[in-house]
Structure 1
Amino acid sequence: MGPQTTDVSATAIPATEELRQTVRELCKGFGDEYWRESDQQRSYPQEFVDTLTNSGLLAALIPTEYGGLGYGLTEASIIMEEINRSGGHSAACHAQMYTMGALLRHGSEAQKDTYLPEIAAGRLRLQAFSITEDKAGSDTTSIETGAVRDGDDFVITGHKSWTSRIDESDLAFVLARTSPKDSADRTRGLTLFLVDLRQVRAQQPETLEVVKVRTMFNYATNQVQYHGMRVPASAVIGQVDNGFRYVLDGWNAERILLASEAVGDGYWFTQRATDWANSREVFGRKIGSNQGVQFPIVDAYMKIRAADMMRFEAARLFDVGEPCGAEANMAKHLASEASWDAANAALNTYGGYGFVDQYDIERKFRETRMYQVAPVNNNMIKAFIGTKVLGLPRSY
């Protein structure tokens, strides 16, 4: 099934419904069979990502002066939602959206002039964010991968446990420790680097070791070892030792965008369940007439609608520069829980057919489960809301 390329004008932000229609038309070229085959083969959906890139939509957050669309996070979240709502999987490309903020807000003018036009034109891919480590887990301030200054370079050595799409990327953000951990300010001492992987692969391939990790759904993730990888000092984003703050700055965008993906999944599940319940006949009547089938679908749909509203509120606050940490976290939590309820309602509606790959319920069931644990576990969100919003004692 071939791609359908849709040109998007970079001169103005289209109305919400117009943007939705644009994304839907693009996604029509990549139906259930395309995503099912990609999942079964655990192959990267390169054709889809290329089509999305060529349309300009993957450069949604890049300002127009650099060749992007100049959209806000609200519009970017609609793009991600519609991909998942069509039955696709935004995880193949969402990182280029939520990593963009670190470069836009904290990168130097030279970095932005060098990379943003190339990313917007689709000649460079920024899909890899190398942060998480085995020992540190969610405690990012405890990472051990180090970067040591050596003349005009930094030498990076260490291990990362979840670095997705590094083989599909030309650029990668890498967070490394450049100063000893300070008990008085545990957020200091980490530096964010924008690494040009093309140069590393061409000049020092032995310093970058990538081991693919097979997961329960199609997610191009890897374990990565950095064996004394040299990067120029010009690769530093912002100031040395302040990198954690730049990463933290992008987490709200990440949570909002992934909430929108979960919302898209939720709408997909409820629509598929509704269609099946309206067509499947057992005991001489449509199964949708049974309240035991009908009510779980309705419950899930209402939860998705509520999560959808929180997503838009979080995105609105983000776009006007207002604090939105609580809203971004709540949107991610509510959307991930609602999409999981919708997934279970759809699986129960389909019954045994839901376990058969040709109906795609089991594929999306596996995909949507991720949102409860990544990019942050929902229990961590509850701890954040408890302490930061309600003023309860810290639990960790």
Structure 2
Amino acid sequence: MLPRLGAADEHQEIREAVRSLCRAFPDEYFRQIDEQRAYPQAFVDALMAGGWLSAMIPEEYGGTGLGLTAASVIMEEINRSGANSAAVHGQMYNMGTLLRNGSRAQKERYLPEIAAGRLRIQSMAVTEPTSGTDTTQIRTSAVKKDGRYVVNGQKVWTSRVRHSDLMVLLARTTPLRELARKSDGMSVFIVDLRQAVGKGLTVRPIANMVNHETNELFFDNLEIPQENLIGEEGKGFRYLLDGLNAERTLIAAECIGDGYWFIERARRYASERIVFDRPIGQNQGVQFPIAEAYIELEAANLMRFQACALFDAEQPCGAQANMAKYLAAKASWEAANVCLQTHGGFGFATEYDIERKFRETRLYQVAPISTNLIFSYVAEHLLGLPRSF
């Protein structure tokens, strides 16, 4: 196991418990799941049963109330074990929007059931085909009528819908032309997928390069009860940021976990593989890139924990969340390349699991927020440069 730098790890007990659970699901399990393009249901059930996916739910609602920092450690250890947190991380970050902006009645209705594993809130529907990352241009509408909202429109890249009971939906409740600020007029809703699919909501799977369950959604006069509105109408974009900051920070932690996995595999192989009567890790051309990847990963890890600390203290953390996601995604991708290069031809063999993890960690250069959008955020909000979009 790679060394952990700095002060003693206060989350060591959590790490060891998650590692113990993950050992019951070895590489072969996830390799088979990937080959079959299946969902790791047994693994998810084990995490739910262990209470690990209710880390951000307060104890008064049946959760463990550990906060984002501990939740990020859980996600890190899942990926560090060779698994993929993409199957479950929505259960964590969707809590941000509901916990901070939901009504008391909504929390009492949903959170105990989620904490007990009887309800899954894995999905968030935001992105649309025509707007992409320009969320203020979404067209999906929710019109109030007879005490209900009627939703029409389309979403894309909406993950885990087929393995979720509840979904967080962002829709426009005021037409853009009637607003002075583009970020106003959007609202957030909880959609009960058990009642929605086939009754105004159509789900169409999107095949992709990783085993990631994601979909297109089509809304055709879907009716949502008025009590499913989170917070005030028209303020959904601001509410959504709570979930997105948590999402980006958790994704950073997953990338950290991936990076440690890649570096450990590269370190081990470089120590054991003998060519020209010496371990290949003795060659500077092999060991230096591994060392560099480790340095970059450790630096990204510091920004991850800073973002977590601010989020848990309910302080502004948008800049830190964005930078943590950027640094960690970049570090994990560089570690992936180093690991593959260290293994040479064997890195392409499925039995080594490197090509699977290589594909999985590549996603985070693009989503859930692209690298270029993070650059524009930092340029405008931290450096005071003119807005680029």
Note whether the superposition's TM-score is higher than 0.5: yes
* 1:113 match: 108
Q: Secondary structure at the match of 1:62?
A: coil
Within 5 Å, give how 1:1-396 maps onto structure 2.
15-181=10-176, 182=178, 184-201=180-197, 205-396=198-389
| Count of residue pairs brought into register by the alignment | 380
Q: Which amino acid aligns with 1:36?
A: R
CA distance in 1, matches of 2:96, 2:223: 24
Pairwise CA distance, 1:183: 5.0
Pairwise CA distance, 1:395: 1.1
1:84-114 Cα distance to aligned partner (Å, 9 max, x none): 0000000000011001011111111111110
Q: Which amino acid aligns with 1:267?
A: Y
1:282-339 Cα distance to aligned partner (Å, 9 max, x none): 1111111111111111000100000011111111111112221111111111000000
Percent of matched pairs sharing the same residue: 56
Structure 2: stretches of 5+ with no match in the other structure: 1-8
Of 385-394 and 346-355, more deviation after overlay is shown by 385-394
Q: Secondary structure at the match of 1:167?
A: helix
Q: Which amino acid aligns with 2:253?
A: S
* 1:10 match: none
CA distance in 2, matches of 1:115, 1:209: 24
CA distance in 2, matches of 1:197, 1:384: 33
Structure 1: stretches of 5+ with no match in the other structure: 1-13
Pairwise CA distance, 1:15: 4.1
CA distance in 1, matches of 2:324, 2:195: 39
Aligned-residue RMSD, C-alpha:
1.1
Q: Secondary structure at the match of 1:374?
A: coil
* 2:4 match: none
CA distance in 2, matches of 1:319, 1:206: 38
Could you list the structure 1 runs, at least 4 aligned residues long, displaced by more than 2 angstroms after superposition. none
Q: Which amino acid aligns with 1:367?
A: E
CA distance in 2, matches of 1:322, 1:95: 22
Pairwise CA distance, 1:199: 2.3
CA distance in 2, matches of 1:241, 1:253: 21
Q: Which amino acid aligns with 1:346?
A: C
1:354-385 Cα distance to aligned partner (Å, 9 max, x none): 01111000000000011111110111111111
TM-score by length of 2: 0.96
Of 377-386 and 77-86, more deviation after overlay is shown by 377-386
CA distance in 2, matches of 1:276, 1:260: 24
CA distance in 1, matches of 2:193, 2:199: 12
Q: Which amino acid aligns with 2:332?
A: S
CA distance in 2, matches of 1:236, 1:366: 37
Q: Which amino acid aligns with 1:57?
A: W
CA distance in 2, matches of 1:50, 1:34: 14
TM-score by length of 1: 0.94
Pairwise CA distance, 1:249: 2.2
1:214-272 Cα distance to aligned partner (Å, 9 max, x none): 11111010011011111110110001111111112222111110000000000000000
Q: Secondary structure at the match of 1:68?
A: coil
CA distance in 2, matches of 1:253, 1:374: 14
CA distance in 2, matches of 1:120, 1:206: 27
Q: Which amino acid aligns with 1:126?
A: I
* 1:7 match: none
CA distance in 1, matches of 2:92, 2:23: 22
* 2:5 match: none
CA distance in 2, matches of 1:161, 1:195: 16
